Amino acid sequence: MTVQEAFDQLTKLLLPPYGAEEARSIARIALEDGFGWKQPYGSLKLDEKQIERLFAMATRLQAHEPVQYVVGKAFFYGYPFRVTPATLIPRPETEELVHWILEDRQESALRVLDVGTGTGCIPIVLQLKNPSWKVVAIDLSEAALEVAAENAAKLGAGVDFRQVDFLTEAEWGRLGRFDLLVSNPPYIPQKESAMMEANVLQYEPHLALFVSDDDPLLFYRKIRDFAQVQLESGGSIYLEVNEFNAKQVMGLFAGPRWKEAVLKRDIQGKDRMLKAICHHS
C-alpha cells in the first residue's frame, strides 16, 4: 500500500461518521502528524507495522476520538504541542488571546501567571516570544502538568510549572506577585453540555471544561479576587470567556479597582476574550 492509497483508504473509512471534506482533512492530519508524510505523497510504500498502526488509528477516528489525541499532537501558534486526554486540545481562539497579549505588552521584564495551563501552550508561547519574562503556570492536574513540562522542555521554554488548587485561597500567597495574569479557565456550565459535540464530551477532560450550573463564574470571581491582592497596581489580566455569559464576567471587573475592562471578539465575531487593568487604591 502506498501513502496515497493509505490516504484514500483512510478517507473512505471516515466517510460514514464524517462528511467528505472533514474526512479528507482528518486523514491528512493523521498522515502528516502521525507519520510525517506530507502531500504530495508520491509512491512511498507502508510496511506492515505502519499499515497495522494506520488501521488502529482509523478505528479510533471512526469512534469520533479527536485526531489530535490519536496522533498525540496539536499545533498552537505554529509550535507542535503534545496532547493527551489529560489536556484540552488547544483552540484557535486561545491563539487569538495570546496574540492580543503579545501585541499589548512589549515590556522586556514581566512576571506572568497562567491559571489552568493544560498543555502549557499559553505560557510556553509567551515565554518563547519574550525570553526575559518570568512565567509561572499552574494546574490542579498532575497529568496535565507532566504534559506541559514535556512540551516546555522540547520547545526550550523556561516556564515554572506548579501543581496548585487555585480555588483554595490559602495557596495564593506562595505564588508571589505578578504583572500579568492570563487564563482559559473552566467556564462551560453543565447544562450547556447538551449543545456540545460528542467527541468533546467523550474525550476531553471535564475538569478543564465544566463548572457547576449554580456558580458558572466561579473561576472568574476567584481570578478577580486573586488579582486584587497578588497583581501589581497597573497589572493586567487577559481571560478567555464564554460567549453566552461574557457580559456577566465583564461585570465582575466593574468595581473601583478595575479600569479599561473590555471585551474582544474572536475571528467569528463572538465575545470570547476579556482584558482588565487593576489599580490598587
Q: What's the pLDDT tens digit per position in 190-224? A: 666 555 566 665 656 655 555 665 677 899 999 99
CA angle 78, 207, 88 (to 5 degrees): 15
**Residue 48 domain boundaries:** 3-70
Domain boundary among 70, 87, 110: 70
> Does residue 200 or residue 183 have the better pLDDT?
183
| pLDDT band (50, 70, 90) for residue 260 | confident
Summarised one tens digit per residue, pLDDT across range 2-54 is 999 999 999 999 998 888 999 999 999 999 999 999 888 878 899 999 999 99
Of the three residues 47, 70, 93, the one that is the final residue of a domain is: 70
Q: What is the pLDDT of residue 153?
A: 98
Q: Give exposure, 57-69, as e/b (b: 16+ Cβ within 10 Å).
A: bbebbeeebbbbb
Tally of domains within the chain? 2
The more confident residue out of 202 and 272 is: 272
pLDDT value for 199: 65
- pTM for the model stands at 0.92
Task: Work out the average pLDDT over 57-78.
Answer: 95
CATH number at residue 15: 1.10.8
User: Are 136 and 205 in a shared domain?
Assistant: yes
11 shares its domain with 116: no
Note whether 245 and 253 are within 8 A (CB). Answer: no
Boundary-marking domain end, from 22, 55, 70: 70
